[in-house]
């Protein structure tokens, strides 16, 4: 079974990743509650951070980057909302996959089961990159708990991934690639941002890509019919400098298919939009959520 589920490459790799993870968690606001939620496909690690009452927000992270990737976003989001975070199942983090995840339906099932196990009946989902895809995938397959979607440069949602990214991703997944090469690729994806050893998000992603073996199906691009079927409000913030999608093309498709969409292209943002504009994202998202709840 080990070769069919996500796992750490070795005990040493696990210990290294956990050390980086703990360093990242130490930079976050105080955790109010911690959950290890059983699902059909494994145990999902989630956290609750205290904020004012109201419909809670659930943050879904990007690839190879669990909960600590939201360290810059949590303070401004918590000013007005209770926030939960989830380590995606099958990704590096403290969620533990125990059964193969074979398709998008399985992806939606485990996330819905996790939200149920956390006692969340209605949530605003905010997802970055692959987390945005996961949010939309849940909403089109199991929409019952979804109050709204906030998507930060979501991949495989409104546009496909450019071929050059598929080639560059090999540098992040193939064992033995020098660290300096991986950091250059991460910097390129992040719009030239500094990804040196002292940047927590870079340390987290690098540890995830080197220490953990993914055994997840490639995300299926969300179809036009699925986008048209969405019956929840959607706020999509697309990065004008993203290398993971073509922002204007993605925006046009989103505007032409979503029944309840608010679509914005932020020209100077890169795919690392959540870390570049945390306060601006929080202000825009709070206005959106307030409108949905009203």
First to last CA, the chain: 47
Rounded-to-integer distance, Cα 245 and Cα 178, Å = 26
Rounded-to-integer distance, Cα 57 and Cα 71, Å = 15
Rounded-to-integer distance, Cα 84 and Cα 264, Å = 25
What is the reported pLDDT for 190?
61
Mean pLDDT confidence for 24-41? 97
Instruction: Specify the number of domains making up the chain.
Output: 1
Q: pLDDT category, 37, cuts 50, 70, 90?
A: very high
Instruction: With residue 108 as reference, give the H or E element that holds it.
Output: helix 104-117
Q: Tell me which of 75-84, 199-208, 284-293 is least confident.
A: 199-208
Which has the higher per-residue pLDDT, 194 or 255?
A: 255
Tell me the percentage of the chain whose pLDDT exceeds 70: 87
Q: pLDDT category, 72, cuts 50, 70, 90?
A: very high
Residues 6+ apart with CB under 8 A from 58: 83, 84, 85, 86, 115, 120, 123, 124, 125, 126
pLDDT digits (tens, 9 = 90+) for 153-179: 999 999 988 766 655 555 555 556 666
Instruction: With residue 282 as reference, give the H or E element that holds it.
Output: helix 278-293
Tell me the percentage of the chain whose pLDDT exceeds 90: 82
Task: State the burial class of residue 26 (Cβ atoms within 10 Å of its Cβ: 0-12, 13-18, 19+).
Answer: exposed
Average pLDDT, the chain: 91
Domain of 153, CATH number, reads 3.40.50.1820
Instruction: Look at residues 239, 237, 154 and name the one whose alpha carbon lies nearest to residue 191.
Output: 239
pLDDT digits (tens, 9 = 90+) for 83-141: 999 999 999 999 999 999 999 999 999 999 999 999 999 999 999 999 999 999 999 99
Mean pLDDT confidence for 248-269? 97
What is the reported pLDDT for 230?
97
Res 265 pLDDT > 90: yes
Instruction: Look at residues 257, 258, 252 and name the one whose alpha carbon lies nearest to residue 235.
Output: 258
Which has the higher per-residue pLDDT, 196 or 269?
A: 269
Q: pLDDT category, 197, cuts 50, 70, 90?
A: very low
Mean pLDDT confidence for 45-68? 95
Res 198 pLDDT > 50: no
Q: Are 180 and 192 contacting, i.e. CB atoms less than 8 angstroms apart?
A: no
CA distances in angstroms from 132 to 42, 224, 264, listed in the order given: 21, 16, 15
What is the reported pLDDT for 201?
86
Mean pLDDT confidence for 170-190? 61
What is the reported pLDDT for 60?
98
Rounded-to-integer distance, Cα 41 and Cα 35, Å = 16
Residues 6+ apart with CB under 8 A from 30: 49, 50
pLDDT digits (tens, 9 = 90+) for 232-243: 999 999 999 999
Give residue for tokens 């399985």: 106
What is the reported pLDDT for 3?
81
Q: pLDDT category, 180, cuts 50, 70, 90?
A: low
Structure tokens at 247: 């922002």
**Which range marks the domain in which residue 142 is found?**
2-293
């Amino acid at each position: 079974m080990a070769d069919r589920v996500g796992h750490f490459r070795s005990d040493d790799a696990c210990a290294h990743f956990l050390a980086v993870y703990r360093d990242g968690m130490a930079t976050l606001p105080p955790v109010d509650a911690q959950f290890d939620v059983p699902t059909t496909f494994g145990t999902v690690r989630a956290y609750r951070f205290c904020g004012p009452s109201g419909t809670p927000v659930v943050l879904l992270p990007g690839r190879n980057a669990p909960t600590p990737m939201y360290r810059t976003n949590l303070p401004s989001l918590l000013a007005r909302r209770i926030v939960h975070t989830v380590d995606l199942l099958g990704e590096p983090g403290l969620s533990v996959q125990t059964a193969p995840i074979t398709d998008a339906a399985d992806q939606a099932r485990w996330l819905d089961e996790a939200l149920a196990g956390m006692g969340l009946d209605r949530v605003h989902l905010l997802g970055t990159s692959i987390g945005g895809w996961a949010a939309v995938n849940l909403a089109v397959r199991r929409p019952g708990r979804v109050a709204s979607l906030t998507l930060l440069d979501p991949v495989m949602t409104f546009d496909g991934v450019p071929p050059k990214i598929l080639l560059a991703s090999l540098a992040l997944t193939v064992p033995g690639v020098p660290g300096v090469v991986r950091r250059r690729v991460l910097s390129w994806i992040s719009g030239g941002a500094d990804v040196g050893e002292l940047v927590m998000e870079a340390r987290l992603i690098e540890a995830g890509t080197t220490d953990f073996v993914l055994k997840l199906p490639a995300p299926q691009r969300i179809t036009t019919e699925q986008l048209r079927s969405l019956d929840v409000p959607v706020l999509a913030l697309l990065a004008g400098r993203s290398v993971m999608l073509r922002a204007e093309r993605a925006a046009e498709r989103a505007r032409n298919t979503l029944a309840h969409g608010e679509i914005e292209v932020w020209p100077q943002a890169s795919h690392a939009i959540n870390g570049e504009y945390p306060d601006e994202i929080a202000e825009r998202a709070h206005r959106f959520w307030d409108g949905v709840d009203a």
